[in-house]
Structure 1
Amino acid sequence: MDRRSFIAAAGTAAVPLAGCLEATLSDGDYDIGMSSNAFVPERYEVSVGDTVVWGNNGSRGHTVTAYESALPEGAAFFASGGFESTDAAREAWQSDGSGNIQPGDTFAHTFEVAGEHGYFCIPHERKGMVGVIVVSE
């Protein structure tokens, strides 16, 4: 088989797999999407008692991790992976990738305290993947 025939055959074999790598969420499955380096939207407003769902509609893993210092007094810490602090979430991510939300998966948190709740994606924080949930009474 010559080079061109091989490339043509390999290219057609790979086409059916391409769709398997894409996220399978639709817009109605989540409130906040996760693209390659951003939460969409970055700022989201809800009322006390509302649950927010993040959906990874991108092609690589992400986390949702609260900045402890950016939570209102009395607010519960939240992080994909169920960690109890920002440091614990960072350490687990560095150790074994814990807290990773795979493409097509979701993470949800219910907000019980009014105020601004800052959060970020651990592996993409340096690229500006941060967000804020604004919770009102």
Structure 2
Amino acid sequence: MTEVLLCVGNSMMGDDGAGPLLAERCHSAPQGAWQVIDGGSAPENDIVAIRELRPDRLMIVDATDMGLNPGEIRIIDPDDIAEMFMMTTHNMPLNYLVEQLKPDVGEVIFVGIQPDIVGFYYPMTEAVKQAVETVYQRLGDWRDNGGFAAL
């Protein structure tokens, strides 16, 4: 099974750096067989690379304003991304990315981490750092949405 982990966010914007922090953590000590891509703030630039991999499972991890407490983690149905009002610091909406990739991937899992502070040059909050570590720890034996609740 080919599994791709696409980590999204801007590490210069406080809690929006959750995705890049996860990518960094996975590169230094891989969990499972995930092929990790740090999509940064322009994950659409990785569409071709992901298509070429033709993954059975694509997991997208991003800081997402869901109206929850900082650091809370939820699984979001990729089909609901467009209808939801979600904070994004990216060049293109993530629903565009998902739509472009659907024909070439099996399962798409979207993992949202609730940020607290998103602003240039702010440090990442402890709650979001802990959430990244929680996602990281569950990657090695991922099943049943990692044990996270759906939004």
Q: TM-score, normalised by structure 2?
A: 0.23
If asked which structure has higher relative contact order (CA below 8 Å, sep 6+), I would say 2
Larger radius of gyration: 1
Indicate the structure with greater helix content: 2
Indicate the structure with greater strand content: 1
Q: TM-score, normalised by structure 1?
A: 0.25
